[in-house]
Amino acid sequence: MASNVMSVAERRRRERKKRVLSLILSLILPGLGQLVGRRIGIGIAALILDVCFVLFPLTMIRTVVIQNELTNLTWLIWLLWGVTFGLYYLLVAYDAYRGTWLHVAPCRRDCPAEINVSDYVALVAAGRYAEADELIREHAPLAAVLGRICPAPCEEVCTRTRIEEPVAIRALKRSATEHELPAVKFTLRHPQKVAVVGAGPSGLTCSYFLAKRGYSVDIFDHEDQPGGLLLVAIPCFRLPREALKRDIDFILSSSEGIRFTGGKVLGENIDLSELERSYDAVYLALGAAKPRPLMIEGEDLKGVLQGLVFLRDVCTNSSKYSFSGHVAVLGGGNTAIDSARTALRLGAKKVTVFYRRTREHMPAYPTDVAEAEKEGVRFEFLAAPLRFEGKEWVNKVCFARMRLRDHGKGRRSALESVEGREWVEEVEAVIVAVGQEPDLELMEHLGLPVDVDGRIKVNRNLRIPRRKLFAGGDAVRGPRTVVEAVADGRKAARAMDFFLRPRFLGRFFEKLGEFDPDFGLEKLGGAAWTEKKPVVKSRVKEQTNYKNPDFYVETMCGLTGESDQEEAKRCLRCQRYNIGFAYKRGKQKGYVSLDKRSS
Ligand SMILES: Cc1cc2nc3c(=O)[nH]c(=O)nc-3n(C[C@H](O)[C@H](O)[C@H](O)COP(=O)(O)OP(=O)(O)OC[C@H]3O[C@@H](n4cnc5c(N)ncnc54)[C@H](O)[C@@H]3O)c2cc1C
Ligand code: SF4
């Protein structure tokens, strides 16, 4: 990035100054404040109103003083004038500070981490990658990770889906992070110290935002390296370790106050009450990585592997596996799909995922299921394992055919086995991946309030009531996604800041100061948002690498060359132009309703 490009933080500072100046001028003359805020149309309208509001009492004075008519009606008119003028005055002053209320683009609204998608996509379109990266990391410091493995709820709601494929938001995030990292160095500003237990995405994000707010943070984890499931479960062909390391280094080097200590197990060699005594607040981001057993006959045979243990062994190189025959994978979630794809890369001739429900009910992300299929993984639905057979090693699995008793209830619909429809599969190994949960025993041992599924109970500020403890991520939500863990980390850091340094109306003032800087992106040639009727343009495809799958070679290769800018220009900038809403009603000036265009 050229050094003369202004950083996002600098832009934000300037924007804030401009808004404060507008606010002050608005208090003197509302229209003037709007004009200084470069809102010419509103400014002129407000000036006309200002004049009307001043002229009106002059005419009234004439009536009262010269004609000496002070009736009840005159009093009422004065009162109405006073109230209307007061309201108008406050509204225009507030508006000058906050700016016109813009609709939040659907992509941002549905992002758990509230990332400003529309602006970072536009910055990529303009080739301003460093600013795009900085903007993403303002909400999610694990940007390179999310650019690869986020399930991208934003893409599901992207306005483009109303006529064609969504903007490739996730791939664009990845593009933004593949350039120079933004340089951040936070200073320690407060004496309070925070302990974070668990260095997964939630714990790391919370530490980053605490450091940003000026606190010193000690991170403790059971593993020797930070990363949580990203490091020990998600395979390298989906998340290369260089990308993960880049993000983690970015977080750990963001402040002198962040320290990571590995090999510390809460409840064994560190004590929760000791942490509560030594630190001003504690964030628990312990995850939910305890594998659920199947509880069927033969589960203790050799060759029956737990999905998470298997992935951990392969990811950390702590055990070697190689297959040559048929590997059966039981389950329908991320762990099952990743285990199946890993088994294929370790030499298995045939890998089948057996799932007791249907494809639509699989908790795994549809894109990952599709990728697994492209690589050669087979799927057998409505199949439930009954028992494992073999002398010492497993060599057969007996299955029952299942039937859905009631359709339409999704994953909650009841199942029953079909009588006489049992069959046996010859296998070399079985990988059990039927779910995971928080460690209930540990939670109870620590004396934490938990629900029936072992998830830590917290209030809406992620705090355990009446204690210095906060919790988030999978430990609170159950097994979910990285972006939700990241969102919790950020939210917890903010809640801890207000807990450690209570301020009068602190949250209100913080919210009031949150607005997006103007990046001056509205005149970008060739971008969809600059055209009156944006053309229907197909999504640029990501490069893939399905042939010869290897554990260390990434399958999805992102948008190469300048294809990312081309793709980013498909964005409609719904946030600026209220397009998502206008399209719904077909009212946007100059735009044809997407509903009409698609018919
Ligand atoms: C195979 C697999 C694939 C996945 N794929 C995706 C994907 O593609 N996209 C996506 O968004 N999500 C995916 N997920 C889910 C995602 O990894 C989790 O939602 C996310 O990692 C949760 O973050 P967390 O910080 O809450 O917990 P974790 O990542 O589980 O981190 C918890 C940390 O706490 C530490 N810890 C636990 N107990 C203790 C203790 N007693 N003392 C000290 N430290 C402790 C652990 O060592 C760990 O480092 C996947 C999960 C799995 C298992
Ligand atoms: S078109 Fe752009 S702004 Fe609109 S929802 Fe899609 S990514 Fe977001």
Which residues are registered as beta bridge partners of 450? 456
CA of 84 to the centre of ligand 1 (A): 55
CB 221 within 8 A of CB 199: yes
For residues 30 and 93, what is the distance between their CA atoms, to the nearest angstrom? Answer: 6
The C-alpha atoms of residue 147 and residue 589 are separated, in whole angstroms, by 34
Atom of ligand 2 nearest to the CA of 572: 1
Topology of domain 291-436, CATH: FAD/NAD(P)-binding domain (3.50.50)
Q: Does ligand 2 lie within 6 Å of residue 168's CB atom?
A: no
Whole-number Å distance, alpha carbon 294 to ligand 1 midpoint, is: 21
C-beta 125 within 6 A of ligand 2: no
Beta bridge partner(s), residue 352 = 328, 378
Q: pLDDT truncated to tens, each residue of the chain (599 aa)?
A: 444 567 888 888 888 888 888 888 888 888 888 888 777 887 888 889 888 888 887 777 776 666 666 677 777 888 888 899 888 888 888 877 877 555 678 899 899 999 999 999 999 999 999 999 999 999 999 999 999 999 999 999 898 887 788 999 999 999 999 988 888 899 999 999 999 999 999 999 999 999 999 999 999 999 999 999 999 999 999 999 999 999 999 999 999 999 999 999 999 999 999 999 999 999 999 999 999 999 999 999 999 999 999 999 999 988 889 999 999 999 999 999 999 999 999 999 999 999 999 999 999 999 999 999 999 999 999 999 999 999 999 999 999 999 988 776 677 778 888 888 999 999 999 999 999 999 989 999 999 999 988 899 999 999 999 899 999 999 999 999 999 999 999 999 999 999 999 998 888 888 888 888 888 888 888 888 887 777 778 899 998 888 778 899 999 999 988 899 999 999 988 876 655 444 444 343 434 444 443 33
Amino acid code (one letter) for 87: L
169 lines ligand 2 (CB under 6 A): yes
Q: Which ligand is nearest to the CA of 207?
A: 1
DSSP state of 439: -
Phi, psi of 479 (to 5 degrees): -60, 115
- CATH 1.20.120 assigned to domain 106-175+530-596? The reply is no
CATH 3.50.50.60 fits 193-288+439-500, yes or no: yes
Q: Which two tokens stand for residue 154?
A: 């934003």
Q: Which atom of ligand 1 is nearest to the CA of 472?
A: 26
Q: How far is the CA of 254 from the centre of ligand 1 (A)?
A: 22
Cα–Cα distance, 42 to 19 (Å, whole number): 15
For residue 340, the surrounding DSSP H or E stretch is helix 334-345
Give per-residue burial for 2-39: e unless 16+ CB within 10 Å, then b. eeeeeebeebbeeeeebbeebbebbeeebbbbbbbbeb
> Minimum-distance ligand to the CA of 568?
2
Residue 384 has phi, psi (to 5 degrees) of -115, 130
Looking up tokens 């229907």, which residue turns up?
536
185, burial (CB in 10 Å: exposed 0-12, middle 13-18, buried 19+):
exposed
CA 561 to chain centre: 26
Identity of the residue numbered 518: D
What is the residue with the minimal CA distance to atom 8 of ligand 2? 107
Kind of pairing between the strands at 543-544 and 469-471: unpaired
Bridge partners, 197 (sequence order) = 220, 284
Residue 349: Cβ within 10 Å count: 12
Amino acid at 406: D
Query: Shortest CA distance to 281 belongs to which of 293, 270, 272?
Result: 272
Rounded to the nearest angstrom, the distance between the alpha carbon of 223 and the centre of ligand 1 is: 12
Ligand 2 pocket mutation, candidates 160, 161, 164, criterion most atoms within 8 A of CB: 160
* Residue of the CA atom closest to atom 17 of ligand 1: 229
> What residues form DSSP beta bridges with 281?
194
Q: What spacing in Å lies between the alpha carbon of 507 and ligand 1's midpoint?
A: 30
- Enter the tokens of residue 10: 């600098």
Cβ < 6 A, ligand 1 pocket: 149-151, 197-203, 220-223, 228-230, 233-234, 264-267, 285-287, 289, 311, 334-335, 338, 442, 473-475, 480-483, 485
- Two domains, one topology: 193-288+439-500 and 291-436: yes
Name the residue with the closest Cα to ligand 1, atom 8.
Answer: 149
**Other beta carbons less than 10 A from residue 560's beta carbon:** 11
pLDDT at 148: 97
Q: Is 158 in the pocket of ligand 2 (CB under 6 A)?
A: yes
Q: Which residues pair with 437 in a beta bridge?
A: 290
| Residue nearest atom 37 in ligand 1 by C-alpha distance | 286
DSSP sequence for 452-520 = TTSPBP--TTSB-TTSSEEE-THHHH-S--HHHHHHHHHHHHHHHHHHHS--TTHHHHHHHT--PPP--
Q: Please state the domain extents for the chain.
A: 2-98, 106-175+530-596, 193-288+439-500, 291-436
CA distance 10 to 4: 12
Q: What is the pLDDT of residue 583?
A: 43
218, containing H or E segment: strand 216-220
* pLDDT at res. 168: 97
Residue with tokens 């299955």: 399
**Residue that has been written with the tokens 């600026």 in this structure:** 576
Which H/E stretch holds residue 232?
helix 229-232
Contact (CB, 8 A) for 365 and 419:
no
Q: Which amino acid is present at 3?
A: S
Task: Give dist(CA 563, CA 569) in Å, integer.
Answer: 10
Exposed e or buried b per residue across 317-336, where buried means at least 16 C-beta atoms within 10 angstroms of its C-beta:
eeeebebeebbbbbbbbbbb
